[in-house]
A and B are shown apart, each in its own frame.
Chain A
Amino acid sequence: MTDTASLFTPRSKNNIAGSVGIVTPERIDFNLPLQLECQRVLNGFHLMIETYGNLNADKSNAILICHALSGSHHAAGYHSEDDTKAGWWDQLIGKDKAIDTNHYFVVCLNNIGSCHGSTGPTTPNPDNDGKPYGVDFPLITIKDWVKTQVMLSDRLGIARWHAIVGGSMGGMQALQWSVDYPERLRRCVIIACTPKLSAQNIAFNEVARQSILSDPEFHHGRYLEHGTYPRRGLILARMVGHITYLTEDAMKAKFGRDLKSGKFLYGYDVEFQVESYLRYQGERFSENFDANTYLLMTKALDYFDPTRDYADSTLSDEDALTYTLARTQCQFLVVSFSTDWRFAPERSQEIVNALMANHKPVSYVNIDAPLGHDSFLFDYPRYVAALKGFLEAPFVGKKSRTTNTPPNKNQPKPKLNQTPSQPNTEQSEINP
């Protein structure tokens, strides 16, 4: 819907011309109670979304982007001419890029529970005089997010996504889609992901949570009502997280043992460059992120297990995943990065092996990239070639008898805040 790159001249401080251009987020309201996995109900919610490129007449060219822990709906382009920071996946989304907006209508949303505009701990709670939800915001799971994304798909009239793409926690959402709503996507791209967190992953998350929970400014999660926020806790949480996103080699290359002042000061102020970097990252993050959201997001990660509702708990992890993925009907691309130790290539291979055990269509690439888990954010040529090739390749998955609604040239653009027009998902049902 926003495709104005050519209207703006490039500026040195940003690269609007090389992006999808100036984009405007939209707010979409859902005035329905949302039953959550934790058994609580959210009385209505809203989602912030951005879209890039144009939806075709039969609505078959839509790609959904799912964001990771700190991401948002702002995946590509800029918010104004003076904006210096492009969307978080600008390197991969745009004209002629891996996710090519010449061909595809790209939708990215901010998940509920986040703090970038969609309903979450910082938005007003209608049941509490419009005070921020804060700690009263329910714990959200990956499955809940997918449920809200399905509601968004219905609102947009998209019966079947051309592809659902996500990195890290976004990959978990894509994977969950493929098992919960198998008939609603043709392609699933799971990047730098894992079928579930390891004990070590959970341990790092717990350190991050304890940093926040033990900050005296946390006030049992009601810091906004106290006019303060747990800045120290959030900084610490991010510092720990950041270490797991990078690698030993990347840190060595970037900082080595370099000292800021060139000599030991025999104290506890910042001395090594790496300390300075981590503190800077933590501080910058703490200014733009909400502590309750951080807690909620790490919990959603810990709880993630796509096999939970499908496989018998007596099965081994491997068998449970194989059993669960038998439900899927899309074709998969799984991407890992050689130096990622947060979600190592072996974890991606577990997904690949479970799919192959079911003889499901899947391709797998392990990209040689130096930046660890964070690598998924960058446009390494091999990564771009695999992703672009996969999205544009002929469909080899199961064919549905009738796919999306038949093309209708007079079809109006979806009006987002109307009563949802239920797309005909029965029609796109695969196996008769």
Chain B
Amino acid sequence: MKIDDKLAEQWIKKGAKVLDLGCGDGALMAHLQAHFGVTGYGLEIDSDKISTAIARGVNVIEQDLNDGLGAFTDDSFDTVVMMRALQAVKNPKSLLLDMLRVAKEGIVTFPNFAYWQNRVYLGIKGIMPMSDTLPHAWYDTPNIHLCTFKDFERLCDDNGITILDSAAVSDSPLPKRLPSFMHASFDSAIKAMPNLLADVAVYRIAKRRP
């Protein structure tokens, strides 16, 4: 389970109705169903992943996120989750608003384009970044809407979206190479400078109350 999945798990209430956008092989939904009595659906377009999710006992609907959430009525879920898919959709803004139409809360994670490694690629090497989190070459990537923490927060602010919680996490192998006594200081460094040091952002969002 990825670290952002673990964070998401903390923010989802027991027995909640959950919609998982881009659910992949259904690992998160299967986990939430088994341990937290969660019900709901995963949306996915990758056919192999759909088959795996079905075999896990996850309800998965074959649907392209770019087609929107028109099939779902307002406020029909407690939480809508979208893990590392925001950067790959055609219209992130309208999808975010649609997410908060169908659910009370949203949990969104995406790769941070301002992560220091990415800055090294662009600023020093002069080429588009590639990493574990962003493994694709620029000409062959599904990630068409990369953004940074700051960009995302500005988008929320401009569109009446409240950020209830956020966390910056690191997928990269760097912390593992550090001696263990330095882990705590690395964590606090991430907290202090997330836009530079964290490669994945996790946000819990809701509609701003008027």
Q: A389 contacts which of B40, B51, B76 (Cβ < 8 Å)?
A: B51
Shortest CB–CB separation between residue B19 and chain A, in angstroms? 9
Q: A357 contacts which of B51, B58, B63, B73 (Cβ < 8 Å)?
A: B73
Residues of B within 8 A of A197 (CB): none
Does A390 make an interface contact (CB < 8 A)? yes
- The total of interchain contacts (Cβ-Cβ below 8 angstroms) comes to 66
**Chain A contacts with B in 362-395, Cβ cutoff 8 A:** 362-366, 368, 382, 385-386, 388-390, 392-395
| Binding site secondary structure of chain B | mixed
A403 to B20, CA, bound (A): 31
**Chain A contacts with B in 335-363, Cβ cutoff 8 A:** 349, 352-353, 356-357, 359, 361-363
Q: B59 contacts which of A349, A361, A385, A389 (Cβ < 8 Å)?
A: A361
A353 to B57, CA, bound (A): 19
Contact with A along B12-54 (1 / 0, CB 8 A): 0000010000000000000001000001110000010011111
Does A250 make an interface contact (CB < 8 A)? no
Q: B54 contacts which of A349, A353, A386 (Cβ < 8 Å)?
A: A386
Shortest CB–CB separation between residue A383 and chain B, in angstroms? 10
Please determine whether A385 and B51 come into contact, CB atoms closer than 8 angstroms.
Answer: yes
Does A295 make an interface contact (CB < 8 A)? no
Does B202 make an interface contact (CB < 8 A)? no
Does B138 make an interface contact (CB < 8 A)? no
Shortest CB–CB separation between residue A179 and chain B, in angstroms? 19
Does B95 make an interface contact (CB < 8 A)? no
Residues of A within 8 A of B41 (CB): 356, 362
Please determine whether B62 and A333 come into contact, CB atoms closer than 8 angstroms.
Answer: no
Does B60 make an interface contact (CB < 8 A)? yes
Please determine whether B62 and A365 come into contact, CB atoms closer than 8 angstroms.
Answer: yes
Does A203 make an interface contact (CB < 8 A)? no
A390 to B52, CA, bound (A): 10
A364 to B44, CA, bound (A): 10
Contact with A along B186-207 (1 / 0, CB 8 A): 0000000000000000000000
Please determine whether B51 and A356 come into contact, CB atoms closer than 8 angstroms.
Answer: no
A428 to B33, CA, bound (A): 24
Does B56 make an interface contact (CB < 8 A)? yes
Please determine whether B71 and A392 come into contact, CB atoms closer than 8 angstroms.
Answer: no
**Chain B contacts with A in 67-89, Cβ cutoff 8 A:** 71-73, 76
Q: A349 contacts which of B47, B51, B52, B71 (Cβ < 8 Å)?
A: B71
Does B61 make an interface contact (CB < 8 A)? yes
Please determine whether B51 and A366 come into contact, CB atoms closer than 8 angstroms.
Answer: no
Does B137 make an interface contact (CB < 8 A)? no
A363 to B59, CA, bound (A): 5
Please determine whether B61 and A356 come into contact, CB atoms closer than 8 angstroms.
Answer: yes
Shortest CB–CB separation between residue B49 and chain A, in angstroms? 11
Shortest CB–CB separation between residue A193 and chain B, in angstroms? 16
Closest residue of chain A to B71 (Cβ to Cβ) is: A353
Shortest CB–CB separation between residue A393 and chain B, in angstroms? 4
Listed residue (B54, B56, B57) with the most chain A CB atoms within 10 angstroms of its CB = B54
**Chain A contacts with B in 164-212, Cβ cutoff 8 A:** none
Please determine whether A365 and B50 come into contact, CB atoms closer than 8 angstroms.
Answer: yes
Please determine whether A333 and B54 come into contact, CB atoms closer than 8 angstroms.
Answer: yes
Does B55 make an interface contact (CB < 8 A)? yes
Q: B47 contacts which of A382, A390, A395 (Cβ < 8 Å)?
A: A382
Please determine whether A366 and B59 come into contact, CB atoms closer than 8 angstroms.
Answer: no
Contact with B along A314-349 (1 / 0, CB 8 A): 000000000000000001010000000000000001
A202 to B41, CA, bound (A): 34
Closest residue of chain B to A355 (Cβ to Cβ) is: B59
A368 to B56, CA, bound (A): 22
Please determine whether A395 and B57 come into contact, CB atoms closer than 8 angstroms.
Answer: yes
A218 to B128, CA, bound (A): 74
A385 to B17, CA, bound (A): 27
Please determine whether B50 and A393 come into contact, CB atoms closer than 8 angstroms.
Answer: no
Closest residue of chain A to B60 (Cβ to Cβ) is: A363
Contact with B along A393-412 (1 / 0, CB 8 A): 11110000000000000000
Q: A393 contacts which of B57, B73, B76 (Cβ < 8 Å)?
A: B57
Residue contacts A-B, CB under 8 angstroms, 6 given = A352-B71, A356-B72, A357-B73, A386-B54, A388-B55, A389-B52
A contacts, CB < 8 Å to B? 331, 333, 349, 352-353, 356-357, 359, 361-366, 368, 382, 385-386, 388-390, 392-396
Given A352-B71, A362-B59, 15 more contacts at CB 8 Å? A356-B61, A361-B39, A363-B54, A364-B60, A364-B63, A365-B50, A365-B54, A385-B54, A386-B50, A386-B51, A386-B54, A389-B51, A390-B54, A393-B56, A396-B39
